[in-house]
Amino acid sequence: QGELHTSLLGKKIMHFDSIGSTNDKAKDLALQGAEEGTVIIAEEQIKGRGRRGSQWVSPKGKGIWMSIILRPDVLPKNAPKFTLLSAVAVAQAIREVTALPVQIKWPNDIIYQNKKVCGILTEMSAEMDFINYIVVGMGININESIKDFPEEIQGKATSLREIKGENISRQRLVRSILENLEKFYLEFVKEQNFQKVLELWKSMSGILGKEVRAMGNNDVIQGIAVDINQEGALIIKEDNGKIHEITFGEVSLRGV
């Protein structure tokens, strides 16, 4: 099914039939010194994890359950950028392979007509002034039918096959994700160029210009999502004109 055109990501690919969580495995391997670009893929996850401690249902052979180890030589404050960068790479890859105009919901869900197709879980280990590793884990719903999803998310999730009405090659999509991710990753870490990612993010965003609610620890901010800044923070403008910068990790978006 064609070759992988990358120099870094996927030089080593570890494939598991069944695993707890590819993110847990990637973190273990990273701690043991695994090389940057190592990719962990599983056919099935028994303990797939989502953001905020939720479970990520990962049935056998139905989706892409994959984690990638990165070791960028940049300050930890840049971490949110890797989340955006990954979302852009995955959205771009899905668009290339399926021709579906999927969108990105800040910070990193990929949606189609407001239903979630992909979630990304970025986990990092860092000291004050360096990143030890970043694990980017992605779960992409490909060949599930709606009834494969837990009941409580059936109205909120969908799969590429449900949308397209035909099977999608997981292999082609994995290849395109790794190629896109490598391109944006190297542009950023080698050339300090984050512009392309921001532009693509904006052009594929499903929320800019829309009314959003961001949930902080104690407060709720409601307003229009007007922009994303150079650091990857979301800018929300309240009705009274007050501007808020929402940094990924502090809040989540609801009701978009």
Total binding residues for ligand BTN by CB under 6 A?
21
CA distance 229 to 233: 5
- Applying CB under 6 A, does 27 fall inside the site for ligand BTN? no
- Applying CB under 6 A, does 22 fall inside the site for ligand BTN? yes
In the structure encoding, which two tokens stand for residue 172, read together? 């082609």
**Which residue, 68 or 189, is less far from ligand BTN as judged by CB?**
68
Tokens 């599930």 — which residue?
144
In the structure encoding, which two tokens stand for residue 29, read together? 């391997």
**Which residue, 64 or 223, is less far from ligand BTN as judged by CB?**
64
In the structure encoding, which two tokens stand for residue 12, read together? 């080593």
**Which residue, 113 or 193, is less far from ligand BTN as judged by CB?**
113
Site map (CB under 6 A) of ligand BTN, residues 42-71, x = contact: ---x--xxxx--x-x-x------xxx----
Which residue number places its CB atom closest to ligand BTN? Answer: 119
**Which residue, 51 or 196, is less far from ligand BTN as judged by CB?**
51
Q: Which residues contact 186 (CB under 8 A, 6 or more apart)?
A: 8
Q: State in angstroms the smallest separation of the CB of 220 from ligand BTN.
A: 21
- Applying CB under 6 A, does 37 fall inside the site for ligand BTN? no
User: Exposed, middle or buried: residue 43 (CB in 10 Å: 0-12, 13-18, 19+)?
Assistant: middle
- Applying CB under 6 A, does 138 fall inside the site for ligand BTN? yes
Q: Is 45 annotated as a binding residue?
A: yes
The beta strand positions in 89-242, using DSSP E, are 103-105, 109-112, 115-126, 131-141, 211-215, 220-228, 234-237
Stretch that binds ligand BTN, among 99-107, 116-124, 145-153, 177-185 (CB under 6 A): 116-124
User: Exposed, middle or buried: residue 153 (CB in 10 Å: 0-12, 13-18, 19+)?
Assistant: middle
- Applying CB under 6 A, does 139 fall inside the site for ligand BTN? yes
Kindly tell me which residue out of 21, 83, 158, 205 binds ligand BTN, with binding defined by CB under 6 A: 21
CA distance 29 to 166: 36
CA distance 133 to 218: 31
Which residues make up each annotated binding site for biotin?
21-23, 45, 49-51, 116
List of residues contacting ligand BTN (CB under 6 A)? 21-23, 45, 48-51, 54, 56, 58, 65-67, 109, 119-121, 137-139
